[in-house]
């Protein structure tokens, strides 16, 4: 089962995506904690943290003084001003973009050029022509972005390598992929292709990136600094345990392979989970018209699942905060913690960081809801209640989305007076030539039947309506 921003199918990881201990561990915030638990947290299907734009750009609960709040700032030497600005949080910089015309250029450069933050985009969207209607993202921000993380799935791989091997590679598609990226993000300078699945043996290597990704990255334009962030086997000597079963989350690790186009050489690092780059999700655009109405439901479903999955790392973090509130080791007289996941586990923890690592790497198969419920039972009543409220809220959102989706299915079946031809016409009017530029689609039905390939979104919509027609719950 898969969960993706592309589709409307609701499913959870556990059958198709291998667990990587690094990923889950990296999605847990570590001390020192300066903010409360982030209930807006999102994670990908491979347990990688994804930060919504509004969370990344917001000010913290403790509002710091900004450079614009004291007049003496303008009298400081430029070098000192730049140094102070470089210490500002993304939220402060984003505020300066909107309130200080004098500091806007420098604040903008720092905000969008943060070397530790990469803005998320799907490879499938880049490969399908980047038509605005086929993405939820607000593309008005694209010209500002300098760092891009590309979500790269097996379906994307097959577009470049239809046989699953190096022979028969679609070189022209790879070059068009990079041209499209540069057109969409004209100021992009750094790109990470994030492949969260283990490559198959034909392209896997013992050193360096998989051969297929190596070809894709080496085809990047010379002014783009490109890398491949991959999943690879973890040498037993680097793990906490020496015998790894095929299902062990510690069997795999993440590696970042960076290509230098000037020297045509590669550099490989294995970043610590706490030192990874941040993945930032672009904000959704305003959902309008029939295309926007359908995309809104798809976006809300994806967002709800991503937040629901994030309850697991949030529960792990909450247990850590509860027992190590100041982020330091307790007094020797305090007994060590015991693992709350299963009574059969003898692991104990007497310092911050030990419990999240154990929770991320041990007990393969103990994933939501079992792990989350077991950890929640060990939390204080107030924290446990907060988690219950959040889960109830997400389930309530599901009910509202079900009602909206049911209305669309009824409309498709003619129960509201509209015919399918009228629905097609409404989509064509909004997404076709001369329609709404923000919701432009590749090709839509024109009644002639002469087009062999329609917009992927239209085909997903039709399939979705047909699937939902005969089922009481259109999400099942």
Residue boundaries of the structural domains of the chain: 36-61+80-237+247-286, 310-379, 385-469
> Which element (helix H / strand E) includes 321?
helix 311-323
pLDDT at 9: 28
**Contact 350/335 with Cβ under 8 angstroms?**
no
Beta carbons within 8 Å of 450's beta carbon, 6+ residues apart? none
pLDDT at 303: 93
pLDDT at 473: 42
Q: How many helices (H) and strands (E) does the chain have?
A: 16, 11
Beta bridge partners of 395: none
Give the CA-trace dihedral at 36, 296, 146, 41, to 10 degrees: 20
> Which element (helix H / strand E) includes 149?
strand 147-151
Residue 291 has φ and ψ, to the nearest 5°, of -65, -45
pLDDT at 447: 60
For 316, half-sphere exposure in the C-beta direction (CA atoms, 13 angstrom radius) is 30
Q: Which two tokens stand for residue 419?
A: 């015919």
**Mean pLDDT, 10 residues at a time, the chain of 476 residues:** 32 45 89 90 92 88 52 82 91 90 92 96 93 95 98 88 76 94 98 90 79 94 96 68 46 91 94 92 96 94 92 93 84 78 88 90 66 86 94 83 89 91 93 92 69 79 82 42
Q: Tell how far CA 209 is from the center of its chain.
A: 22
Query: Distance between CA 178 and CA 193 in Å, rounded?
Result: 12
* Coil, helix or strand at residue 43: strand
Query: Distance between CA 102 and CA 121 in Å, rounded?
Result: 31
Task: Looking at 118-200, list the stretches that DSSP marks H as alpha helix, in order from N- to C-terminal side.
Answer: 123-127, 154-160, 171-184
Beta carbons within 8 Å of 212's beta carbon, 6+ residues apart? 157, 160, 161, 166, 169, 199, 203
Tens digits of per-residue pLDDT, 102-139? 899 999 999 999 999 999 999 999 998 899 999 999 99
The DSSP 8-state label assigned to residue 200 in this structure reads P
Query: Distance between CA 55 and CA 42 in Å, rounded?
Result: 10
Query: Distance between CA 223 and CA 228 in Å, rounded?
Result: 16
Q: Are strands 348-349 and 265-269 parallel, antiparallel or unpaired?
A: unpaired
**Contact 148/188 with Cβ under 8 angstroms?**
yes
In this prediction the pTM is 0.88
**CA 381 vs CA 46, 384, 386: distances in Å:** 30, 5, 9
Q: How many CB atoms lie within 10 A of CB 186?
A: 11
Tens digits of per-residue pLDDT, 215-249? 999 999 999 999 999 998 887 655 443 334 444 55
Residue 308 has φ and ψ, to the nearest 5°, of -65, -45
Candidates 453, 452, 462, 457; CA nearest to 441 is: 457
**Contact 285/46 with Cβ under 8 angstroms?**
no
pLDDT at 369: 65
Q: How many CB atoms lie within 10 A of CB 172?
A: 8
* Coil, helix or strand at residue 365: coil
Query: Distance between CA 82 and CA 101 in Å, rounded?
Result: 15
**Contact 221/182 with Cβ under 8 angstroms?**
yes
Beta carbons within 8 Å of 466's beta carbon, 6+ residues apart? none
**Contact 186/141 with Cβ under 8 angstroms?**
no
Q: Which two tokens stand for residue 404?
A: 């909206």
pLDDT at 113: 93
pLDDT at 364: 61
Q: Please report the sign of the dihedral spanned by the C-alpha atoms of residue 451, residue 454, residue 460, residue 461.
A: negative
């Amino acid at each position: 089962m898969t969960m993706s921003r592309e589709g409307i199918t609701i499913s959870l990881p556990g059958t198709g995506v291998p667990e990587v201990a690094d990923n889950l561990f990296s999605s847990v915030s570590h001390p020192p904690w300066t903010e409360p638990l982030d209930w807006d947290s999102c994670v990908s299907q491979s347990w990688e943290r994804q930060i919504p734009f509004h969370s990344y750009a917001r000010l913290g609960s403790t509002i710091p003084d900004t450079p614009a709040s004291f007049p003496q700032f303008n009298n400081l030497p430029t070098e000192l001003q730049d140094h102070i600005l470089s210490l500002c949080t993304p939220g402060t910089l984003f505020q300066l973009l909107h309130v200080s015309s004098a500091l806007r250029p420098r604040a903008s450069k720092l905000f969008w050029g943060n070397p530790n933050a990469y803005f998320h985009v799907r490879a499938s969207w880049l490969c399908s022509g980047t038509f605005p209607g086929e993405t939820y993202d607000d593309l008005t921000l694209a010209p500002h972005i300098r760092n891009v993380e590309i979500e790269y799935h097996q379906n994307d791989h097959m577009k470049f390598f239809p046989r699953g091997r190096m022979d028969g590679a679609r070189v022209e598609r790879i070059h068009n992929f990079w041209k499209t990226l540069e057109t969409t993000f004209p100021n992009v300078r750094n790109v990470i292709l994030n492949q969260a699945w283990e490559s198959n043996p034909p392209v896997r290597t013992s050193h360096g990136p998989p051969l297929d990704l190596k070809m894709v990255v080496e085809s990047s334009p010379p002014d783009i600094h490109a890398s491949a962030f991959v999943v690879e086997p973890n040498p037993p000597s680097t793990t906490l345990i020496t015998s790894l079963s095929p299902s062990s989350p510690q069997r795999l690790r993440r590696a970042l392979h960076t290509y230098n186009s000037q020297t045509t050489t590669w550099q490989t690092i294995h970043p610590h989970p706490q030192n990874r780059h941040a993945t930032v999700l672009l904000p959704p655009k305003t959902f309008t018209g029939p295309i926007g109405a359908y995309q809104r439901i798809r976006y809300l479903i994806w967002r709800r699942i991503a937040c629901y999955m994030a309850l697991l790392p949030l529960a792990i973090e909450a247990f850590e905060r509860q027992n190590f509130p100041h982020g330091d080791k307790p007094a020797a007289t305090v007994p060590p913690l015991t693992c709350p996941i299963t009574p059969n586990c003898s692991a104990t923890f007497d310092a911050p960081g030990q419990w999240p690592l154990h929770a991320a790497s041990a007990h393969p198969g103990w994933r939501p809801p079992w792990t989350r419920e077991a950890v929640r039972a060990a939390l204080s009543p107030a924290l446990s209640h907060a988690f219950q409220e959040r889960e109830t809220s997400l389930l309530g959102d599901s009910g509202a989305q079900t009602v909206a989706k049911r209305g669309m299915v009824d409309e498709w079946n003619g129960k509201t007076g509209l015919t399918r031809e009228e629905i097609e016409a409404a989509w064509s009017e909004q997404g076709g030539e001369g329609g709404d530029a923000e919701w432009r689609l590749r090709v839509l039905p024109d009644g002639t039947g002469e087009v062999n390939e329609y917009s992927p979104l239209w085909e997903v919509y039709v399939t979705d309506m047909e699937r939902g027609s005969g089922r009481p719950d259109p999400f099942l």
